Structure formats: C-alpha cells, structure tokens
Amino acid sequence: MKKALEQYLAQSTEAAPLAVFRVFFGLMMFASILRFWAMGWIEKLYLKPDFHFSYYGFEWVQPLGIYTYGLFALCGIAALLVALGLWYRYAILLFFLSFTYIELMDKTTYLNHYYFISVLSFVLLFLPAQAYFSVDAWRKPQVAFQKIPRWCIDVLKLLLALVYFYAGLAKLNSDWLLEAQPLATWLPGRYNLPLLGPWLEQTWVHYAFSWGGALYDLAIPFLLLYRPTRKWAFALVVIFHVLTRVLFPIGMFPYIMIVSALVFFSAGFHHRLLSALAGWLHLPKAVFDNGRVLAWAALPRKRLTAGVLAAVLALQLLWPWRYLGYPGELFWHEQGFRFSWRVMLMEKAGYVNFTVVDLQKGERFTVDNRAFLSAFQEKQMSFQPDFILEFAHFLEEHYQQTQQRGDLAVYAQSYVALNGRGSQPFIDPSVDLTQHRRGWHTKNWILPFNDTIYGL
C-alpha cells in the first residue's frame, strides 16, 4: 500500500495542462474581479450596508471601508500575476488570501463557486504551476520544468470531479426528481427567451431538465476521465453550462467550469493550445520544453504538501455529509447546507419581522429591517436561521447602545416557502433569540418542516 503510494507519487507527467489551468484560472479571476467592480457591487454589497452577516468564527473579517477597493485591486493584480506566472508563489498566496477575505466579509453573498475558487487557489498554492509557460520559468531556468509529478494534475481533476458528483448526489431527492422542483418554478419565468422560451413552460421539459441535470452531474466526472468519451463529455460540459448561463443569473461560474474541464484533456492537447497561444502572442514556447523533470523526491517540503493536500481532499469528501448530524429537513433548517456543492436546489423565500421587547420598560416594537440591511441582505436573511439569529443579536446590542435600554428580548415572526409549497411558520415566535448562542449546535428554535423530502 505504502509502496503503491510512493510509486504513484513518483510518476511524472507533462506540466502543460497545469500551466494552461493556471493561465485560464488567472484570467478568469481577473475578469471576475473587473466585472464585480464594474457592476458597482463593491459599493452596493460591501460599502453601503451598515451591517454585515459574518461566518461563525470570522466576525473579525469586515469590509475595509473605502480600502475595500484596494483589496479588490490587490486581488485582481494577483490574479493577473498568476496568469502570467510572475512571482507565482506570492501571487497565488495573495490571491487566495484576498479572495477568501472578500468572501468572508459578508455571507449574504455566499456562492458555492466562490468557495470552490478559494479551495482551488489554496490547492494551487502547493502546486508547481509556474514550472512551465510562465514568466518565472522563463527568467529562472532552474525553476523551469517540462514535467512535474502526475498527482499535481490529478488533484485538480479530483476536486472538479467531486464538485460535480456531490452536486449530482444532492439532486437525488424527491423534490428534484419527482416534483421537478425548483426548476418547475424557475423555468416558466424565462418564457420569453428566444427559441427556448415556449418550451420552458412544458411540464415534461421541467422533468427532462431535472433528470438530465442530475444524470449530467453524476456521470460527467467519469465521462471526462475516460478517454473515448472525453470529447463528447466536454461538448456536454459546454452545452450544460451555456444553458445554465442563459437560464439563470449565474455570472462567471459557467465559463470557469468550462475552462476548468479542459484539465481532463491530454498533454498533447494542451501543448497544441499553448503553441497556438504562443504563436498569436509571439511568445517563445520551445524554451519551456527543456525535458527537465521535477521529481516528487526533489520537491521541497513534500511531506507537508502531501499532508495538506490529503487533508483538503478528506475535508472535501467528508464535510458535505455533516448535515447528517442535524435532525429534520436540511433544505428547511439549512444546518450543514453550505460548502457542500448544493447548487440550484431550492426555491426558497421568506419574510421575517423582529419584535424587540424592553423587559424593564415593558415596551415592545417591531423593527424595520431595511433600516439596517440592504434588500439583498434582508432577502437572504429571511429564510436562513443563522442570519436571523445573528441579526437578532445585533438588534439587541444596537438598541441597548443607541437607546440606553437594559435587558431586551428579541422575537422573530417568520414565514418561509420552499420549492412551491405554501408559506409556513419558520422560527418559533415564542423564543427569545437573545438567549441562544451562535454556533454549530442544533438550532432547536426552528419550527419543524410540515412535509417530507425523501432522498439524500
């Protein structure tokens, strides 16, 4: 066993696929940052709101006021440096830190693909992605290698495969397969798309998309890994992600996935791609084809690297299953929902009102949420219990400080509708939320879901 592992680690392969991945990853990230900036979202999401929802344990990560622009600039520059392969280690470290900091500033904006980018950039920190077709390798021949350990590329394939496969597993539930929800809610709303529009109101189309989507997610890793099906699998990747791009407001994610899937192709393909790129831009490519092999045995800190990457992979494998530790319906209480590749699974909407009771003065009043939150924050809060609890704690503190009040109780009256079911009460309205701590323990003040969703 140990020997097999040593043997596997010692295998080497062409560095070109990793170089292509680095270039595209860097460019995509740079474009994403520019787009985010150009949309005015930095101001809208991070500067305008007075209050930000924090991940538990990361309350210290807050927007930096006007310097938030600087943070985005740093992140964009780092992404560009990654693409160029210039000062790669520092660039990817800076990118990982700045991007992750941005994502941690407010969990209102949580997206699975942002999390995926953080994971990828963390892993890239340990890969010799600058060994080939990079400014670093061009300037310092001693760090230029044509071949690198094979696992360096396998680890990326594995991460991508896990995302798809887990996203597919998450779709194996009765809402998705038997009710075609939430697609049956979403697709008709796109009725006026050219060509596709008229079909999107047909019930059979909702089912076809649901089943097709689940099958796609479950099968695509294997179809991409298996050489004879790879080409067609990639065509599927393109069709699938373009379709999601057309149907849903999904930003850069489809392009990132399409480009990432290229890593499954052979070294020969990547060499041709780089030759073409080098040709267009009049860059030398031959200098990188030096035949030098970066051996596993020669890697600095290889034990640390192996340990960290093994831990990342183990976490990726196990972390999505933590929801099993919570009683009740995952889609309803969302404990263990994030960071698990549960993508496009729910149409959930809610409405929440907070009542503050001044226990000394005996006064009670209802809060205007919008006085503190953006519309986007209020919407996201309305169906996520951890947001509701955090906001209740904020209200307690706010009214104690600004109105010199003593002991306060905060109650939430809330309704949530999930996947086309009618709204039903969500949070126990008799529970004083200031008496409940944030944390990983079960939130027993969420009312039970009065229906059953079968499956994973």
Partner 1 sequence: MKKVSLSKMIGLALLLSAALSCTPNEEEGEANEPIDNFDRSAMLVHWADDYAIPAYQNYHQSTQALLTAVNTYVDNPTAAQHSATHAAFREAYRAWQAVSFLAIGPAEEKGLRNFTNVYPTDTAGILEFVNVASYNLTLPSTFNRQGFPAIDYLLSGLGTLAETNTRFGNDPRYGDYLQALAERLELLAGNTLADWENDYRQTFVSRDGSSAAASVNKMVNDYVFHFEKELRAGKVGIPAGVFSGNTLPQSVEAVYTDTLSQSLFLRSLAAHRNFFTGMGFNGQASGESLQSYLDYLGTQHGAGLLSEAIVTQMDLAEGRAQNLASSFRQEAESNPQALLAIYDDLQQGVVYLKVDMLQALNVRVDYIDADGD
Where along the sequence are the contacts to partner 1 (CB under 8 A)? 39, 41, 45, 109, 111-113, 185-186, 188-195, 197-199, 201-202, 231, 234-235, 238-239, 241-242, 245-246, 248-255, 258, 262, 268-269, 272-273, 276, 343-344, 347, 349-351, 353, 358, 361, 363-368, 375-376, 379, 415-417, 420, 422-423
Q: Which is nearer to partner 1, 93 or 238 (CB)?
A: 238
Q: Which is nearer to partner 1, 51 or 248 (CB)?
A: 248
Peptide bond into 17 cis (omega under 30): no
* Alpha helices (H) along 174-266: 174-178, 183-186, 203-225, 227-247, 253-260
Give the separation between CA 394 and CA 397, rounded to whole angstroms.
5
Euclidean distance between CA atoms 321 and 146, whole angstroms:
39
CA distance 341 to 257: 13
Kindly report the number of other CB atoms within 10 A of residue 297's CB atom: 10
Pick between residue 136 and residue 175 the one whose CB is nearest to partner 1: 175
**CB nearer partner 1, residue 135 or residue 262:** 262
Q: Which is nearer to partner 1, 79 or 257 (CB)?
A: 257
Q: How far apart are CB 262 and partner 1 at their closest, in Å? A: 8
| Pair 105, 62: CB distance under 8 Å | yes
What are all long-range contacts of 322-327, with beta carbons under 8 Å and residues at least 24 apart?
A: 326/442, 327/442
37/186 with CB nearer partner 1: 186
Smallest gap from residue 189 Cβ to partner 1 (A)? 3
Nearer to partner 1, 292 or 333 (CB): 333
Q: State the nearest-atom distance from the C-beta of 252 to partner 1, in Å.
A: 8
Minimum distance from residue 190 beta carbon to partner 1 (Å): 6
Distance CA 258, CA 240 (A): 9
Task: Report the relative pairing of strands 147-149 and 348-358 from DSSP bridges.
Answer: unpaired
- Tell me how far, at minimum, the Cβ of 91 lies from partner 1, in Å: 25
Q: Which amino acid is at 90?
A: Y
Nearest distance from C-beta of residue 349 to partner 1, angstroms? 5
Shortest approach of partner 1 to residue 445 CB, angstroms? 19
Burial 99-137 (b: 16+ CB within 10 A, else e): bbbbbbbbbbbbebbbbbbbbbbbbbbbbbbbbbbbebb
76: nearest Cα among 136, 32, 130: 32
Q: How far is the CB of 204 from partner 1 (least distance, A)?
A: 12
Minimum CB distance to partner 1 smaller for 87 or for 399: 399
Residue 193 DSSP SS3: coil
Distance of CA 400 to the CA centre of its chain: 36
Cβ 245 to partner 1 shortest distance, Å: 5
Nearest residue (CB) to partner 1, 52 versus 241: 241
Cβ atoms 82, 130 nearer than 8 A: no
Beta-sheet strand order (sheet of 408-418): 363-366, 348-358, 408-418, 424-425
